[in-house]
Amino acid sequence: MSFNIGLVVNPLAGLGGSVALKGSDNVAQEALDRGAVPKANARCQQALAQLTGLDVCVHTYAGEMGADCATAARLPVQIIGAASTQPTTAIDTIQAAQTLVCQGVDLLVFVGGDGTARDLLQAIGDQVPVVGIPAGVKIHSGVYGITPVAAGQVIAQLVKGELVSLRSQEVRDIDEDEFRAGRVKARYYGELQVPEAHQYMQATKDSGQAGGHELESLVLDDIAAHIEELMEPDVRYIMGSGSTVAAVMDGLGLPNTLLGVDVVEDGQVIASDVTAAQLLSLCEHHPAQLVITLIGGQGHVLGRGNQQLSPALIKHLGMENIHIIATKTKLKKLAGRPLLVDSGDPQLDIDLAGLVPVICGFHDVLLYPLGNPSA
């Protein structure tokens, strides 16, 4: 008997990331007008490719909500309906999920971000286990694979009948209007049942608001001093998102886009809150380096909240021109798990793997593994 997979794709997920909109809720058309390219279906295909040769049947809606992906992956498809509107909405996601559960699927796979996870929670609660294929901008929920390929490998384990426990994982989402204003307010909405595969499923985003903040501020000052010392004239420094990079910018006495990407040259900000296309234009014919940090609790350095850092840009820079910064406290919270990359290019993710230097203070650099278990 075939393993019955329910598939729900949010085709608009992640549209706002590469064009600096910091989300896709209510701005999908603006993102498309800015030149954003939908990638949810491509990421879905990366996951479904892990099921080649397995006895599965994919139950899904027509077109971009799932059938296109399953057909491209050459998997048996059972179309159970179609979206009621174009472009699709949360209502289509909810209706598709409810219909799939009523049909008795063994597992519900969905493609999107935190908003999509909220829709699934509303639609089905904990009725069936789920696996999320990450396609959103800044994913706080713990119901997604660390990459599309990793999500596919979790699904493959279940299909093969391997012993995989289930656990409840949090669904969290932010207010995207607040997010675009530079304020992160993540809210807990509930929990979904997901396979317990630690090496493939991402953790819930760590807010970083626990104790030890005063001591950590001194460490951030040291990291900022280290970055300032290594900066060279006539080199453009791409400053990634997040509070750790913000501390470096503060140490440099420069304004910062907390949840965006800025470019610094010769002690001045020359471009703020840039898009992927703008970054390529600024750095293609000019020496450039990148300063980024990891997401606390998860370990992602690429692919979460910084989709402006496109695969083309990372390939152009090379790992030798990428500076990863993090406090030792942040690294310890990973409990030995590697840093993660989900660049959007699976081969690039593999190429980046290895031991990488992480700047943890002034002249304090640790070697730490980077590489997804699926790589």
pLDDT tens, the chain, 375 aa long: 689 999 999 998 876 455 455 555 555 555 555 655 668 899 999 999 999 999 999 999 999 999 999 999 999 999 999 999 888 889 999 999 999 999 989 899 999 988 899 999 999 998 888 999 998 766 888 899 989 999 999 999 888 877 677 788 999 887 655 555 566 667 889 999 898 765 666 666 665 554 444 367 788 889 999 999 999 999 999 999 988 999 999 999 999 998 899 999 999 999 999 999 999 999 999 999 999 999 887 899 998 888 899 999 999 999 889 999 999 888 888 887 889 999 989 999 998 988 788 999 888 888 788 886 655
Dihedral, 331, 334, 338, 344 alpha carbons, nearest 10: -100
b/e sequence 137-147, b meaning 16+ C-beta within 10 Å: bbbbbbbbbbb
User: Tokens 């999107």 appear where?
Assistant: 112
User: Which letter does DSSP use for residue 294 in this model?
Assistant: -
Reference 242, options 296, 192, 317; nearest CA is 296
* Residue 247 tokens, joined: 């501390």
SS3 173: strand
SS3 334: coil
H or E segment to which residue 262 belongs: strand 262-265
Question: HSE-up of 8 (CA within 13 Å, CB side)?
Answer: 30
Angstrom distance (rounded) from CA 309 to CA 261: 9
Angstrom distance (rounded) from CA 64 to CA 285: 37
